[in-house]
């Protein structure tokens, strides 16, 4: 098996506060992996360090064999991240936004792929609309599209369905599942256990910056059914 993401002994501090506490994690190529945990557990901090958006204080992270800080560009080319926040320039259209993102990766000839993502994410009739005129759900679709412009083998989604309507949730998951079947490694953070249960083959549970459980989804569910109260305690939301 090829490792898509290797996190070794990673610690991250904000001042004296330890947000990631000696995290070890290995995610294989082709996995659909969930990072679960209550609010404040360190999920976003961990994926930001994996994506090189935040630098770990110790330890090392590799994405498809590339060291995230020493080979930042190579690592970033192999990874697409869908952030929780909606980050965009309001004055560009959807298509322009995606072209600018391609330019960031040095790609100028992927118009056909951009059209395909636009169509697949139900954005075709909004392609020439300014970002500021889109609904929240549509903006979220563009965030997903942005993460895919360079066809990254690894795709990380941070709470992608939080606050999203049921229809978008379903079409988003259908698309992400297809990408996984096509060979992309998918990592998602969520605090919806049922979402992870429906989609993922393996999970890590984070609590107070530590990985407290790492299991196949099947084993995780059987452990959970033994202790429903444990499930409630770990996933208060
Ligand atoms: P999760 O994604 O699991 O909800 P986060 O990774 O966002 O958790 O946060 C983990 C902890 O780190 C929280 O206690 C949060 O307040 C803290 N934290 C996150 N980012 C910062 C920051 N930039 N400065 C200070 N504390 C932070």
Domain harbouring 179, CATH code: 3.40.50.300
Residue 215, pLDDT score:
78
151 pLDDT more than 50: yes
**Distance from Cα 237 to the centre of ligand 1, integer Å:** 16
Its domain, for residue 29, covers 3-234
Top pLDDT among 23 and 193 is at 23
CA–centroid distance for 3 within its chain = 17
Q: Measured between alpha carbons, how far is 167 from 165 in angstroms, rounded to an integer? A: 6
Q: Which two tokens stand for residue 163?
A: 């606050």
Residues 24, 193: contact at Cβ < 8 Å?
no
Q: Which two tokens stand for residue 54?
A: 């935040």
228 pLDDT more than 50: no
94-104 helix and 136-148 helix, angle to the nearest 10 degrees: 30
| Environment class of 13 (CB within 10 Å of its CB; exposed 0-12, middle 13-18, buried 19+) | middle
Closest C-alpha to ligand 1, atom 25? 14
Q: Which two tokens stand for residue 6?
A: 């290797």
**Distance from Cα 15 to the centre of ligand 1, integer Å:** 12
pLDDT band at 231 (very low <50, low <70, confident <90, very high): low
Residues 150, 105: contact at Cβ < 8 Å?
yes
Going by C-alpha positions, the residue among 194, 163, 188 that lies closest to residue 175 is 188
Closest C-alpha to ligand 1, atom 11? 40
Top pLDDT among 61 and 191 is at 61
Residue 166, pLDDT score:
81
pLDDT band at 217 (very low <50, low <70, confident <90, very high): confident
Average pLDDT, the chain: 89
Q: Which atom of ligand 1 is nearest to the CA of 48?
A: 6
Q: Which two tokens stand for residue 232?
A: 């409630």
pLDDT band at 66 (very low <50, low <70, confident <90, very high): very high
How many domains, the chain?
1
What is the CB < 6 Å shell around ligand 1? Answer: 14, 17, 19, 37, 39-45
pTM of the model: 0.89
Given the cut 0.85, state whether the ipTM is greater than it.
Answer: yes
Q: Number of helices and strands (H, E) in the chain?
A: 9, 10
232 pLDDT more than 90: no
Task: Give 122's Cβ-side CA count (13 Å radius).
Answer: 14
Top pLDDT among 84 and 218 is at 84
**Distance from Cα 55 to the centre of ligand 1, integer Å:** 14
203: β partners: 34, 215
**Distance from Cα 41 to the centre of ligand 1, integer Å:** 8
Contacts of 6 (CB under 8 A, 6+ apart): 25, 26, 27, 60, 61, 62
Top pLDDT among 91 and 190 is at 91
25 pLDDT more than 90: yes
């Amino acid at each position: 098996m090829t490792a898509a993401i290797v996190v070794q002994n990673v610690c991250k501090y904000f001042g004296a506060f330890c947000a990631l506490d000696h995290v070890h994690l290995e995610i294989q190529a082709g996995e659909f992996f969930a990072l679960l945990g209550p609010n404040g557990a360190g999920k976003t901090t961990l994926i930001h360090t994996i994506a090189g958006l935040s630098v770990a204080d110790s330890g090392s992270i590799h994405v498809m064999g590339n060291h995230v800080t020493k080979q930042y560009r190579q690592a970033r080319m192999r990874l697409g991240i869908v952030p929780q926040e909606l980050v965009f320039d309001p004055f560009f259209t959807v298509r322009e936004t995606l072209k600018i993102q391609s330019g960031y990766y040095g790609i100028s000839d992927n118009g056909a792929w951009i059209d395909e993502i636009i169509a697949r994410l139900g954005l075709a009739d909004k392609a020439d609309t300014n970002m500021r005129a889109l609904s929240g759900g549509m903006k979220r679709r563009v965030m997903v599209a942005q993460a895919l412009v360079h066809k990254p083998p690894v795709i990380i989604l941070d709470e992608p369905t939080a606050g999203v309507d049921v229809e978008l949730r379903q079409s988003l998951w259908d698309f992400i599942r297809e990408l996984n079947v096509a060979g992309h490694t998918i990592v998602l953070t969520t605090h919806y256990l049922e979402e992870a249960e429906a989609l993922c083959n393996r999970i890590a549970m984070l609590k107070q910056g530590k990985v407290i459980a790492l299991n196949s989804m099947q084993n995780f569910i059987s452990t959970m059914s033994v202790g429903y109260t444990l499930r409630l305690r770990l996933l208060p939301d």
